[in-house]
Structure 1
Amino acid sequence: MTDELRGLLRESAEAHQPDRARMLARVERGTARPGTARRSRDRERTRALSWPRIVLATLATAGTLTASALMVVDVDAVHDPDPPRSPSAVGRAVPPTAAGSRTEDGPLWADGSVDPHSNAYWAQSNVTLKAGEPLTALVVELRIALTEGVKDTGNWRTRPAADFDLSARQEGGFLVYRWTLKPGRTVPPGEHVFAGQYDHATGGRDAKDDTYRIDATAGAAERGASVWGGFA
């Protein structure tokens, strides 16, 4: 600022005389209308806010809104919907392959084999069960892969036929034999055999895809036991 400009400002300030009447009038108006005066002061204060401060305040507000929006998006992205619940485990699991055999469980033991009397046109698959305790519930399932020419020709078991409900039908690429112990019947401790008989295409038949599974309830404690496996 130049000396000449400083001088002019000083002369202007010294020449200024306050208008007492105008000041009193403003005070009276402010006393009569306090709300109006307050609003006027607020407007004056707003106008007095410098441009940089307005810009900073605006940016701060925008930043807060942006941060809030990002937070909401981030929470939604992290909180994935719950995965679909798997179906209730009702009934037995799909019988495993021979490689996943479990031939013993508590008082229950089993083995699968192709009967030695099988021939080039016909075969019999045996499921041998050994029970260490009385069985009050029992399901024996034999699954024969539907290789060429496989067709049901009969079945048998060492236990009385009247003690079991039997079904023999094709399911999902297998000929399935299923023996279910009737309510109120019991299988005593010991060795028992369940067998399925079937025709097949001429020649030796590979039983590598055939499986069995046994589910039982054993003893007074009604302990559940399951065994499964394949055929040699």
Structure 2
Amino acid sequence: MDDKLRERLRTAAEAHRPDRERMLARVERGMAEGPSARTPRGPLPWLRVVGATAAVCGVLAVGAYAVTSAGVGQTRGGQVAGSPVPSVSAPAVPGREPELRTEDGPLWADGAVDPHSNAYWAQSNVTLRTTQPLSSLTVELRIARTGGVHTTGSWRSLPEQDFTASAKEKGGFLVYRWTLKPGRTVPVGTHMFAGQYNHAEGHRGAEGDYFTANAARTTGQQVSVGDNFTSGH
């Protein structure tokens, strides 16, 4: 029911004022006249009056009900308080790769599949170049676990005793991680980190692989780089 119809029903119900005295007089007059021989067969006059009265009351009752129903759910301010709208949760956002850039301040990086990889085995290389010493560094290489991917080792060009290294399966990736130990420093220069793995026979696309490197200069400023691998063997 729209707002205009509700308002018209409410106005009609409020404006109606039944004339009780006139209606009772008609009922009493019909009873006093009594039945007549010339009166056609059918309901007695006073019954017709009572019936008409009942019909009028019925119409008023329906009108009052309609107005009342139209007002259901309204607040004192006259606004309709509709049924609460169920909240809809935002769809879950799938996992995404971090925002990657190949250069940040003194740090530059590149990722590539080693050209000596073959139809059964591959090596992914992460090359870092820094123009300033680094007081902290964490390099993470993620190899998508496509058919048959399994680690066969890793290495880095910087001293082995300066880093903590690990390789584990996590979230659909084979994850290699190298973390510079406290108190150690990465010198200015170009350095390499490599992860090695077997894979199913044939060409392996590396489009799902990527790496990140997070570091801090000796002055304390944080820098980070990363890149995707776009080829494979």
**TM-score scaled by length of structure 2:** 0.59
Amino acid in the other structure paired with 1:223: Q
Higher relative contact order (CA 8 A, sep 6+): 1
Deviation >3 Å, runs of 4+: 65-71, 93-96
Contact 1:95/1:228, CA 8 A, preserved across alignment: no
Partner of 2:223: 225
SS at match of 1:116: coil
Superposition deviation, residue 69 in structure 1: 8.1
Amino acid in the other structure paired with 2:143: I
Alignment root-mean-square deviation, CA: 2.8
Give, in whole Å, the separation in 2 of the partners of 1:140 and 1:69: 64
Whose radius of gyration is greater, 1 or 2? 1
Amino acid in the other structure paired with 1:111: D
Partner of 1:110: 109
Segments of structure 1 that go 5 or more residues without pairing to the other structure are 1-64, 84-92
Contact 2:132/2:217, CA 8 A, preserved across alignment: yes
What's the CA shift string for 1:130-150, capped at 9, x where partnerless? 111111111100000001111
More helix by share: 1
Matched residues, percent identical? 57
Equivalent pairs counted in the alignment come to 153
Give, in whole Å, the separation in 2 of the partners of 1:148 and 1:94: 21
Partner of 1:207: 206
Partner of 1:182: 181
Give, in whole Å, the separation in 2 of the partners of 1:181 and 1:68: 67
Segments of structure 2 that go 5 or more residues without pairing to the other structure are 1-73, 90-94
Superposition deviation, residue 189 in structure 1: 1.0
Contact 1:104/1:227, CA 8 A, preserved across alignment: yes
**TM-score scaled by length of structure 1:** 0.59
Superposition deviation, residue 67 in structure 1: 3.4
